[in-house]
């Protein structure tokens, strides 16, 4: 059964730092913590929620993609899967820009 975008855009507790992370309010759904930038391996392909791994994903660097701007690259701590994720710049809880800028360019 397909999930709606609204169902995917929910708050969560960060698997790494235990921060309460609110749902995103800029029209995209949030997939990483704005405080520590860690994520969770839930997708095989962006947005599909099909991964059975479900392990923490560490922020390892930045890339810039045409049409999407800067993205944080996450690497799964269990299986090594890499996934770029859009930065959250607006809304109730934007990503920590100092932390974002401390990541290396890949």
Render pLDDT for 42-82 as a digit per residue (tens, 0 to 9): 988 877 889 999 999 999 999 999 888 899 999 999 999 99
Residue 98 CB neighbours (<10 A):
7
Strands 56-65 and 69-76: antiparallel
| pLDDT greater than 60 at residue 6 | no
For the chain, give the mean pLDDT.
88
Rounded to the nearest angstrom, the gap between the alpha carbon of residue 44 and the centroid of all alpha carbons in its chain is 14
* Domain range annotation of the chain: 5-102
């Amino acid at each position: 059964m397909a999930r709606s975008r609204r169902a995917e855009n929910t708050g969560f507790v960060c698997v790494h730092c235990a921060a309460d992370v609110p749902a995103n309010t800029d029209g995209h759904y949030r997939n990483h913590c704005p405080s520590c930038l860690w994520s969770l391996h839930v997708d095989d392909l962006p947005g599909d929620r099909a991964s059975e791994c479900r392990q923490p994903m560490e922020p390892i660097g930045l890339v810039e993609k045409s049409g999407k701007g800067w993205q944080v690259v996450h690497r799964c701590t269990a299986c090594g899967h890499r996934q770029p994720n859009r930065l959250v710049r607006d809304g109730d809880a934007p990503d920590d820009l100092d932390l974002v800028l401390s990541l290396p360019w890949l």
